[in-house]
Amino acid sequence: MTIALTIVSCDTENNLEPVYEDYFVRLFGDEGYQEGVDLVVEESTQSVLLLGTTTEPDGSRRLFLVKADWSGNLLWQKKLGGPDDEARDIEPANNGGYIVLAQSRDPQSADPTENVKLILITPEGEKTDSVVFGSPMLEGVDYGIERPNTVTTLEDGYIVTGSLEYTTTEADGGLKKVSYMKLRFTNDLEWDEDFLYYNSQAELASGVRSVRTGGNTIYLLGSDNKLFRTENGVNHNFWLFGFDNNGLPVGNKDIPLSDDRQGMDEFLTAVCPSFGGGFFLVGTQTDPSGRQDIYVSHVANDNGSLLPGGPGNRVLPSDGVTGRINPVSVCKATRGQQGYLILGTEGDVGTRNMWLCKVSVSGDVVYWSSTFGAGDRNDDRAGAVAELPDGHILVVGTINVGVSNLKMGFFKLNAGGRFASQPSMP
């Protein structure tokens, strides 16, 4: 099913009429252009907090926050940070507010590098604290932050997961390598200097999310090419790396989660809790011919120790999966037929649309899929997906409404992934 939305105006938060409470499309933004990245659902207030990046007319980039109710009504919108911040993640914080992760750069620096920026905000979007963490130096090696991906809230602080870039001059003649990054901060956003924030054994690795599985054990979930090391960045597998509160390896500390076949390249992109108490992993698999498929994996939680388990790994069935799709978000779908909602960006740069599907708990059946956006010749990108308690689906993303005119798109669909009234559900 393909849903094409013709959008001709741009600079208001409600430019598609009529707007229904049961399903709708809303655009948020003003001057410049705004991108939709992530969302958090507040069940107690029946509202949703949307996170994105706004590029101002002068070229500076700031964080863009929007709060709307489940009927699509704008409650407020605000801008934070700057002058060169890119939104990455938003999660509930320990203090009743939210923690926002941004990838930040200082444009005034002679050699600007990526930094991690964390901002604590109230439920109404007011900043209460923030910290910027730059490239660390360890044992004479300059570690540059390549990409912060997510922030995880723990009982006693926060962990930022992503990738570090470093140079192994003596061992590899100056080749650039990429390692997992796991930065730990206290509840007051102070960097924990004693926490081991990298994995020295990584060859070409990227961290997607860290999760606490019980007690003193935390796991980083990501991708690594240890099994078949190459210098051209292929042969990755889904990977997990267990560590304790000091960042030191514990448990199943370093094992692959996807099939160990040379020539296959599996990259993890999204993680959510599974129905069995473990985690459901989604990413892509590329074979030597260049064919790319959506790849899913299940991780079991055995008394705090993560290990491959459950239905195992598989390529998503081709039913409803047409074209090249890069998944960006996944969540549990608990109403009706249980399973998972997978959101991705479909198509090539310049003609992309958002793509959404629902798969079974095992991942071997695609119940339905839909493609939607501003039109076939526009370039839209997916951000994040969530399910409401009544089965409705919320999506945030980026809508291209004209030449260099991007707006944050907020979508409400029924449980079947359609812009239609909610069907009866078992």
Q: Which domain holds residue 126?
A: 38-323
Strongest mean pLDDT among 69-78, 108-117, 172-181: 69-78
User: Is the residue at 75 inside a domain?
Assistant: yes
Find the Cα–Cα–Cα–Cα dihedral 308, 312, 318, 321, rounded to 10°. Answer: -40
What's the total number of domains in the chain? 1
Nearest to 33 by CA among 15, 17, 10, 50: 10
| pLDDT value at 202 more than 70 | no
Return the structure tokens found at 140.
Answer: 């004479």
Integer Rg of the chain from CA? 21
Nearest to 73 by CA among 50, 101, 89, 104: 50
Give the count of beta carbons closer than 10 Å to the beta carbon of residue 99: 24
Indicate the burial class of 38 (C-beta count within 10 angstroms; 0-12, 13-18, 19 or more).
buried
User: Is the residue at 88 inside a domain?
Assistant: yes
User: Is the residue at 271 inside a domain?
Assistant: yes
With a CB cutoff of 8 Å and minimum separation 6, the contacts of 309 are 276, 278, 298, 299, 300, 302
Residue 58: strand, helix, or coil: coil
User: Is the residue at 344 inside a domain?
Assistant: no
Nearest to 292 by CA among 315, 313, 271: 315
Strongest mean pLDDT among 84-88, 134-138, 313-317: 84-88
**Which residues are 294's β-sheet partners?**
284
Grade residue 167 by pLDDT with cuts at 50, 70 and 90.
Answer: low
| Residue-averaged pLDDT of the chain | 84
Give the count of beta carbons closer than 10 Å to the beta carbon of residue 240: 24
Q: How many angstroms separate the Cα of 115 from the Cα of each of 112, 199, 206, 303, 326?
A: 9, 19, 16, 35, 25
| pLDDT value at 317 more than 70 | yes
Assign residue 185 the CATH number of its domain: 2.130.10
User: Is the residue at 131 inside a domain?
Assistant: yes
Pairwise CA distance, residues 335 & 415, whole Å: 8
User: Is the residue at 73 inside a domain?
Assistant: yes
Pairwise CA distance, residues 353 & 37, whole Å: 15
Return the structure tokens found at 396.
Answer: 């945030």
Name the amino acid, one letter, at 201: Q
CB of 148 closer than 8 Å to CB of 116: yes
The mean per-residue pLDDT over the stretch 221-240 comes to 75
Grade residue 377 by pLDDT with cuts at 50, 70 and 90.
Answer: low
Residue with tokens 């029924």: 414
Distance of CA 345 to the CA centre of its chain: 12
With a CB cutoff of 8 Å and minimum separation 6, the contacts of 321 are 293, 294, 357, 366, 369
Look at 7-21, 32-46, 290-304, 378-392 and tell me which has the smallest mean pLDDT.
Answer: 7-21
With a CB cutoff of 8 Å and minimum separation 6, the contacts of 11 are 29, 30, 31
Give the count of beta carbons closer than 10 Å to the beta carbon of residue 112: 12
Give the count of beta carbons closer than 10 Å to the beta carbon of residue 367: 17
User: Is the residue at 402 inside a domain?
Assistant: no
Name the amino acid, one letter, at 236: H
Beta strands per DSSP E along 303-426: 305-308, 314-315, 325-333, 339-346, 353-360, 366-373, 381-387, 393-400, 406-413
Look at 131-135, 336-340, 341-345 and tell me which has the smallest mean pLDDT.
Answer: 131-135
User: Is the residue at 33 inside a domain?
Assistant: no
CB of 396 closer than 8 Å to CB of 52: yes
The mean per-residue pLDDT over the stretch 180-206 comes to 82
| pLDDT value at 132 more than 80 | yes
Pairwise CA distance, residues 83 & 99, whole Å: 19
Pairwise CA distance, residues 8 & 15, whole Å: 9
| pLDDT value at 373 more than 60 | yes
Grade residue 1 by pLDDT with cuts at 50, 70 and 90.
Answer: very low
Pairwise CA distance, residues 356 & 328, whole Å: 10
